[in-house]
């Protein structure tokens, strides 16, 4: 857990320093800080071509609760932001031939850190704001262990993967405080269970978040 906190903190700190050191020739509208809570929803299998004891095994992360935060700075309709989130989620192993699925007994810790460029289609100063964003993301995965229905055990160590992130945000301006909902798509190739000799599929992990904070 301490490793998760340190990595999220480092991601926010690095992008935060970038935000704070950005050129100020354009009038800045202020720093925004917001806690977030939402749902992590993977859209595909991590692996689905693993063969064990004559069966094909598919691995998939389950839906989980995502908690985190967002730090940003806007210059008119353009802005920079850093985000971080932590997701405890179970891993599922399914025998394709029988359709029998088994969830891991322990949670796998996932953490997401990003640095982004934001474009506000409707400015933050308006009562209703609308923005899109994109950037670079780091996806971390803690130690993993899961057992399939036939008793085969699969384990893996902690791993980190770089990828991209795109998203959109709708916000409601309440003065110095605002609320928003956002959806983000984390696109990456996870390096999970590499010892099995099978390449993971490209992931499109979605996060749906609600947040509120000062100067959103």
SS3 51: strand
Residue span of the structural domain in which 40 resides? 2-21+29-214
pLDDT category at 198 given cuts 50, 70, 90 is: confident
Question: Is residue 96 within 8 Å of 48, Cβ to Cβ?
Answer: yes
pLDDT category at 158 given cuts 50, 70, 90 is: very high
DSSP 150: T
Tokens linked to 139: 């996806």
Question: What is the predicted pLDDT for the residue at 28?
Answer: 46
pLDDT tens digits for 82-116?
999 999 999 999 988 888 888 998 899 999 999 99
pLDDT tens digits for 37-72?
999 999 999 988 888 777 888 999 999 999 999 999
pTM, entire model: 0.82
Structural domain total, the chain: 1
CATH number where 12 lies: 2.40.160.20
For residue 138, CA distances in Å to 8, 10, 94, 124 come to 9, 11, 27, 27
For residue 155, CA distances in Å to 130, 144, 145, 186 come to 42, 5, 4, 24
């Amino acid at each position: 857990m301490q490793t998760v906190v340190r990595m999220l903190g480092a991601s926010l700190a690095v992008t935060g320093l970038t935000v704070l050191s950005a050129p100020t020739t354009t009038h800045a509208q202020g720093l925004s800080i917001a806690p977030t809570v939402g749902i992590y929803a993977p859209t595909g299998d991590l692996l689905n071509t693993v063969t064990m004891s004559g069966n094909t095994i598919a691995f998939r992360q389950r839906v989980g609760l995502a908690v985190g935060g967002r730090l940003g700075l806007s210059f008119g309709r353009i802005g920079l932001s850093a985000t971080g989130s932590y997701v405890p989620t179970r891993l599922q192993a399914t025998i394709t031939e029988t359709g029998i699925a088994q969830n891991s007994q322990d949670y796998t810790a996932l953490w997401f850190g990003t640095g982004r460029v934001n474009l506000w289609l409707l400015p933050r100063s308006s009562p209703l704001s609308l923005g899109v964003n994109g950037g670079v993301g780091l996806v971390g995965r803690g130690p993993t262990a899961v057992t399939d229905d036939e008793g085969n055990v699969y384990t893996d160590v902690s791993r980190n993967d770089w990828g991209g992130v795109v998203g959109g945000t709708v916000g409601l301006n309440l003065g110095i405080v605002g609320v928003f909902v956002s959806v983000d798509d984390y696109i990456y190739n996870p390096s999970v269970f590499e010892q099995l000799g099978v390449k993971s599929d490209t992931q499109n992990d979605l996060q749906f978040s609600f947040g509120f904070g000062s100067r959103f």
